[in-house]
Structure 1
Amino acid sequence: MKNVLLVREIYLEAFRNLGHAFVKSFFKVMSWFCFASFLIVLYAFVFRITTGFAFD
């Protein structure tokens, strides 16, 4: 019985840490994605301004 409780505790602890690491890495990836998207939009806007696009 002691071994089963030990395995259960190790299992729960691993998923606690996995969830935190997953959430942390997910937010890092999403922040880099948003930053890259913002740079693409900024580039497109500057490109349109320099080529004389009429914003009507």
Structure 2
Amino acid sequence: MKSVMLMKELYLEAFKNIGSQFAKSYLKVLSWLFMASYIIVVFAFIFRASTGFAFD
């Protein structure tokens, strides 16, 4: 739980001092898209590993 709170704090601090509102919202969207993509990749790897896919 402590690591989740640290990640939240890092996320909030990262966008605190960005000047432009456009840049701030653009980077937030990109960070959420990256996080969603990463979760999909991890899910796909775990799914393939658990179903016996041969990684040759």
| TM-score class normalised by the smaller sequence | 0.5 to 0.7
Greater helix share, structure number: 1
Query: Could you tell me which residue of structure 2 aligns to residue 16 of structure 1?
Result: none
> What is the aligned length?
38
The runs of 5 or more residues in structure 2 that have no matched partner are 1-18
The runs of 5 or more residues in structure 1 that have no matched partner are 1-18
- The TM-score normalised by the length of structure 1 is 0.66
Query: Could you tell me which residue of structure 1 aligns to residue 24 of structure 2?
Result: 24
- The TM-score normalised by the length of structure 2 is 0.66
Residue identity (%): 58
* Secondary structure, counterpart of 1:43 in structure 2: helix
Higher relative contact order (CA 8 A, sep 6+): 2
Q: Which structure 1 residue ranges, 4+ long, deviate > 2 Å from structure 2?
A: none
* Secondary structure, counterpart of 1:55 in structure 2: coil
